[in-house]
Structures are given as C-alpha cells and as structure tokens.
A = this chain, B = another copy of it.
C-alpha cells in the first residue's frame, strides 16, 4: 500500500491508509493510546484502542517514545474536534527507528541548548511554522519578480573587492589571490539591469560584524531587484508594491502557521499601499517630537528606527538621507547635493530596516570622484565605471533582508529562529 501524506488525509475519509512519520506526542489511558503522529506535512491524532488491535501493536504503542519513527496503518475518520478535521483509527503499527531520551522535551529549554540541537529543534511545531513561512516568503519574492519579467541574475559570492568597506568582510585565500564573501549583489546586478532592463538576484550575503543583536546574522539571504530607467520615485513604488505582495501572500497561504505562532494577523492585514513616505528631515522632526535628538548627518540606529516605525501601522519609507552617511554609489539629489536619492523601509512594530535602496550614481566622472573620495581602489571598480561609460542610464533598486522580514511577519523577537542554521558571533554549529 502506498503511503499517504497527512496534508492529503482529507481525500481518504473512510479509507485505510498508511502513514510514515514520527511520534510527536502521546497520551495514554489503560485501554487507549492517543498518538500524535507527524510526517513533516502535518500532525494527526492516531487512536490505538486495545480491543481493536493485536496485543503486540498495543504493546508497541505503549513502548514507543517521542520522535520514534513509525509506520501507522489505520482508517481515516472525520472528527470535528481535530485540527485537521480527521483522526486515524489504528489497525497496525510498525517501529522503524527507536528514539530514546529525545533531548527536546515539552518542558522549557534554554536558547543555547535549543540552538545546539538545531538539527532536532527544526522538528517542533513552532519552528515548522517559522520555516514554512520563510519558505513562503522566498517563493513570494521570486514569484513577484518572475511574473513581472525580471531576469534572475545570480551575483557572484566570491568577489575581489569590498562593496562597502573591508572591516566587516569574510575573506578566503583564492589560489594566489584573496577573495571576499559578498555583502550585496548590487554592483554586479547593475550590470544585469543594464543588460536585461529588469533583473534580480537572491542569494546568501555575509557580514563579519562583531555585534550581538537580535537583528543580525553573519550569514543572511537577500533579494535585490534593479531596474534600468527607474528613478527614486519608481523605486519606492516598487518596494511598496513588493512588500504588500509578500505580506499578502503569507496571510493568504500560511494562515495555519501564523495561528501556531499566535501572530496578530490584523497587524499584517493593514500592510496595504500606500505606505507613508517621509524625508530624513521629517524623520528628524518626528524623533524630536518624541524627545530623541539626532544631529543632522547621523544615520539612524535601532532605537531611532523603532521610534519612527511606532508612529505608523504599516511600513514607512524614509528617503533622502544625508549623502555622507550612505554608500559611495548613491546618486546625490540634484535639488540638494547634500542628500542622497536613497530610501530605507522600516517595518512596523519595531522590526527595523528591512529594505535599503535608491537611485545609483550614473555619471562616470562623478562616480569616479566618489570612489576616490571614499579611498576605494579605482582599479577594482574599473568594470563598474564602464557601466557609466557605455550607455549609462538612470537606474535604481533595493535589497531586502529575508531574515528580518521573516522575524517581522512571524512576530519573533530574534532573527536566530528565521533560518535553518543561524550563523552568529559565537555560533558556527551545528
């Protein structure tokens, strides 16, 4: 008999099925065992009734412990009290693999212990919910760009030069040279946008920041679109439309997982266009009104971002920061050369910056001067300057860090649960 996945159990009401999975939990009375069986697609209650099974099956049900792998045969019957609407009346049970003293018990464990056992922790229902939502967010991001004619243009991970300074770079010997792990695919993606009009990349990025915060991982995934002939206004429109789509996809397709996480879904449902847009200077005023003084020219930290975002029920776009606190490739605002044509999107509920982007400097001489002013190696950026030498066009884009978006949508305090195996300052294992 072919096995049935639990997420398709509803198609088999009244039939005998075979389930292959693991024992998630068990309750027993003298004559009954209620086995909570998970198979990765869902969890279902399987009822072993002493009078209805051979003695050895009942004994096995009595014996098996949490996370034992088992094959269950039984009949699917409707049960209004069950989360899936069904339960299974067991007729047969087979042990595949023992599980003795499974380390993660229903009791509370410390985070360090759970992270040490991340390879097992990912089996728990809460982690399932988070990682399924991560999977959905990734699909939604790709679907959004694929359906709108963006060409996937994978940027390289191993790069010869730093995108934004060398202090936070991981580096590796590369035969006779040194390679750095990418912090952003943007520079390469600009070549893609000028070739394909609309391009995106989506891959892992790396920052060797000696910081232990709830918002930082050393290795994180970033999705980055880049569009030729797009300006800052178009970039903000794109970012807004994109984030509305991604949040909407999770609300529509992952209601069960959001419920497991006890997420306030109304908060997510309010993430609709238009998002508020304020300039850096308006943000300074807003902070001032809240008693937070920031000197003109300084970038915002976590405290400021949280204070700004708390004024809005949806993400807020903060645009035109001082050029001096932004990267060399940002185009200056022709209306005020001290400002950069950039935008950050801050998530609501204190989740901080989820998007950073803007319009790129498209004038060859200006960019060359900026590279020199930032003490960057001219030679390493010769190819990047070429993009302004041969048919330069206005262009813009942004990057969105996936883990922060997962944390926000799931309502998690810390990004460490948003990726299967987080890499942090003191954690490279398992």
Q: Using a CB–CB distance below 8 Å, which chain A residues touch chain B?
A: 3, 5, 7, 20-23, 39-41, 67-69, 96-99, 102-103, 117-120, 122-123, 127-128, 131-132, 134-135, 138-139, 142, 146, 149, 151-160, 170-175, 177, 179, 181, 188, 191-199, 203-204, 206, 208, 210, 218-219, 221, 228-229, 362, 383-384, 386-394, 419-421, 423, 425-426, 428-430
Contact = CB atoms under 8 A, between A and B. Distances in A.
24 contacts: A3-B229, A39-B197, A39-B228, A40-B196, A40-B198, A41-B149, A98-B391, A118-B191, A119-B383, A122-B191, A123-B195, A128-B196, A139-B146, A139-B152, A153-B420, A154-B221, A156-B421, A159-B428, A170-B172, A174-B218, A175-B208, A175-B426, A203-B204, A383-B430
Most chain B beta-carbon neighbours within 10 Å: one of A23, A196, A219, A392: A196
Contacts of A41: 149, 196-198
A99 B68 contact: no
A40 B193 CA distance: 8
A392 B119 CA distance: 13
B392 A122 contact: no
A298 B187 CA distance: 44
Contacts of A173: 170-171
A154 B419 contact: yes
For the complex of A and B, list the 6 residue pairs with the smallest distance between their C-beta atoms, beginning with the closest: A40-B197, A97-B392, A383-B430, A69-B391, A40-B196, A119-B191
B428 A158 contact: yes
A353 to B, nearest CB: 21
A383 B153 CA distance: 35
A364 to B, nearest CB: 9
B172 A171 contact: yes
Q: In this complex, which of A102, A127, A170, A177 has the most chain B Cβ atoms within 10 angstroms of its Cβ?
A: A170
Contacts of A123: 194-195
Given A22-B194, A119-B386, A170-B174, 19 more contacts: A5-B149, A21-B197, A39-B197, A40-B199, A67-B390, A69-B391, A69-B393, A96-B392, A96-B394, A97-B362, A97-B393, A102-B390, A128-B195, A134-B154, A135-B151, A158-B218, A158-B423, A177-B428, A384-B430
A4 to B, nearest CB: 12
